[in-house]
Chains A and B, each alone.
Chain A
Amino acid sequence: MKVRRRIDFGAYAFLLPALIIYLSVIIAPTIYSFVLSLYRWKGVGTKKFVGLHNYVALFTADPVFLTALKNTFIWVILTLVFTMTIALILAVLLNGSFKGRTFFRGLFYFPYVLSLIVTALVWNWIYNPTAGFLNGLFKAIGLTSLQSNWTADPKISLYCIFVASCWQGVGQPMILFLAGLQTVSVDVLEAAKIDGASKFKSFFVITIPLMRETFVIVIATLIIAAMKVYDIIAGMTGGGPSNSTQTLATYMYQQTFMYTNVGLGTAIACVMFLLMLVIIVPYITFTAKEE
């Protein structure tokens, strides 16, 4: 039965609050950022229009920006290789039925509810060169040669921060994978077993392809989060030592709010946005196709 079939202005009223807030907090400021990135401006005083000069300067004359760009990519790769793999392994381990399964699930997810600032403060302490747990441990087991300055050493600092980030964040993709594993039908796996496929083989040939959708969600959320990585670096090294752990997000903050190079800072933010688009567009196309 068709009850109503006319243009219904009342319906749009339901969208209005969300639309107003969304436009004023996200869309309008984003557009304004693009405009600001075309100016040289110290936050106060007059703005000078410089066209694309800020972008040119970043890519040709700013080694710190290039480090930040490189580190952001390294971070994305580390996340995809380690965080995702560990999460998948944990999910497979916890997918069987055994005593204590719910407990371990809860425990492994737990660090994810902590803020990245808390995670940073906790791991600062682990890495503390004089009184920290890690150097203490190596001393106790007689491996003093493995002692290090950890986050204070520019060569390994970024990787040390990543370990902390992985500790905090692995629970989220683990839960997504667990949910994905539930959707793989037991019958198919049984059939494969009868046909003589090993557990190992059927995992790679059957389970993983069937979890395609889960992988898309996990990869997309991990990449998006990795591109924005900020809190944990701000809390552990602030981009140092000697800019070795700068990412686009930390460098943007530094240029804008510490050196008040607003034009340059917004240009970095816009580079982040454009890089993000490269990932978002295929993801949205995929999501829309599934609809």
Chain B
Amino acid sequence: MSSTRLRSRAALYFVLAVISVIVLVPVATVILTAIKSKADFYSGMGVLSLPSHIYWQNFINAMTEGRLGRYMLNDIIVSFLKVPIGILVEALAAFALTRLEIKHRTGIFIFFLLGMMLPFQVALVPLNIIFSDLHLINTYFGLFYVYVGFGISFGILILRGFFKTIPKDIDEAAWIDGCGKFRLFWNIVLPIARPAVATLFIMDFLSTWNEYLLASVLITDKNMRTVASGLMTFMGEHGTDYGLLYAGVLISVIPVILVYIFFQRYFVEGLAGAVKS
């Protein structure tokens, strides 16, 4: 390697290191706050200094007093309802839009796309009114149903893009073999689309887990809150106990970080797919 190349490589690593510090410092401050006891916290030591010992009680308190365990359970229930059922509904529609005889398919597709761009706010008040009348406020079903609705546009966009790349010859062969529409969908097209489904599964899980606005309006009962809106009440109730709050923040992101570490390639590939399609 020539010396100029060596120098530019060193400059690159320097820049990347600086950016990495910017990404990681906020995370470090949160971790170092979460492991401090109140005594350590008020002893005047700096934000980034290590306490003499790790104060695990913050994490225990966050789960019990802070009810974070309950919030996470609620989020898991809603996510595990929303994600698979949502994807099934979106895949059925995307299948019809790409492989069945449908009139005005582009028009219908664009109609579905509109939802991706509408602000949640524009549907918020009527949903709140209707859900109150139907006693769906504070129910898993209510939140799940709204999440499916707001996910439809993005899901159809991604799945339709992928379904279009599957050759039509497969359909013809299947029709000739006497394969029905649903079997073509379920046994042939959906398995081929596994990479797109996997990507969608992960992105959907993240956005469901992280959603705040709808969850804070449609859920008012303490025991039914999900993680994002639960953490916010946490701040109000335990405003001064920073150790507890940030222990809660750390626990709440564990599922997200695990999903990210294990399925990282789907994020990159999935988004790249969206650009190409």
Tell which of A57-65, A121-129, A146-154, A189-197 binds the partner: A121-129
B55 lies within 8 A of chain A by Cβ: no
**Contact status of A117 and B210, CB under 8 A, knowing A133-B48, A272-B119:** yes
Complex CA gap A229/B252 in Å reads: 22
**Judging by beta carbons under 8 Å apart, are B228 and A14 in contact?**
no
**Judging by beta carbons under 8 Å apart, are B145 and A179 in contact?**
no
A202 lies within 8 A of chain B by Cβ: no
**Contact status of A116 and B212, CB under 8 A, knowing A125-B246, A133-B47, A224-B117:** yes
Question: B6-50: which have CB < 8 Å to A?
Answer: 9, 12, 15-16, 19-20, 22-27, 29-30, 33, 46-48
Contact of A276 among B92, B96, B118, B274 (CB under 8 A): B118
Interface string of A1-43 (1 = CB under 8 A from B): 1011101101110110111011011101110110010000000
B271 lies within 8 A of chain A by Cβ: yes
Contact of A8 among B100, B242, B252 (CB under 8 A): B100
Complex CA gap A137/B36 in Å reads: 19
Complex CA gap A88/B224 in Å reads: 41
**Judging by beta carbons under 8 Å apart, are B96 and A14 in contact?**
yes
A227 lies within 8 A of chain B by Cβ: yes
A256 lies within 8 A of chain B by Cβ: yes
Interfacial chain A residues near B145, Cβ < 8 Å: 21, 25
Interfacial chain B residues near A268, Cβ < 8 Å: 121
Interfacial chain A residues near B81, Cβ < 8 Å: none
**Judging by beta carbons under 8 Å apart, are A4 and B122 in contact?**
no
Complex CA gap A7/B103 in Å reads: 9
Contact of B102 among A3, A12, A33, A257 (CB under 8 A): A12
**Judging by beta carbons under 8 Å apart, are B112 and A22 in contact?**
yes
B120 lies within 8 A of chain A by Cβ: yes
B249 lies within 8 A of chain A by Cβ: yes
Interfacial chain B residues near A90, Cβ < 8 Å: 19
Chain B contact residues: over half helix, strand or loop, or mixed? Answer: helix
**Judging by beta carbons under 8 Å apart, are B172 and A253 in contact?**
no
**Contact status of A21 and B152, CB under 8 A, knowing A4-B175, A29-B123, A121-B231:** yes
A73 lies within 8 A of chain B by Cβ: no
Interfacial chain B residues near A22, Cβ < 8 Å: 112, 115, 149, 152-153
Interfacial chain A residues near B46, Cβ < 8 Å: 136, 140
A176 lies within 8 A of chain B by Cβ: yes
A230 lies within 8 A of chain B by Cβ: yes
**Judging by beta carbons under 8 Å apart, are B245 and A183 in contact?**
no
Contact of A228 among B120, B153, B209, B259 (CB under 8 A): B120
Tell which of A48-56, A76-84, A100-108 binds the partner: A100-108
Residues on A lying within 8 angstroms of B by beta carbon are 1, 3-5, 7-8, 10-12, 14-15, 17-19, 21-22, 24-26, 28-30, 32-33, 36, 90, 93, 96, 98, 100, 104-111, 113-118, 121-123, 125-126, 131-133, 136, 140, 167, 172, 175-176, 178-180, 182-183, 213-214, 217, 224, 227-228, 230-231, 234-235, 248-249, 252-253, 256-257, 262, 265-266, 268-270, 272-273, 276, 279-280, 283-284, 287-288, 291
17 A–B contact pairs at CB < 8 A?
A: A14-B181, A18-B92, A21-B145, A21-B149, A24-B149, A25-B127, A26-B150, A29-B126, A33-B124, A116-B210, A117-B212, A118-B210, A125-B242, A179-B275, A234-B232, A249-B121, A279-B117
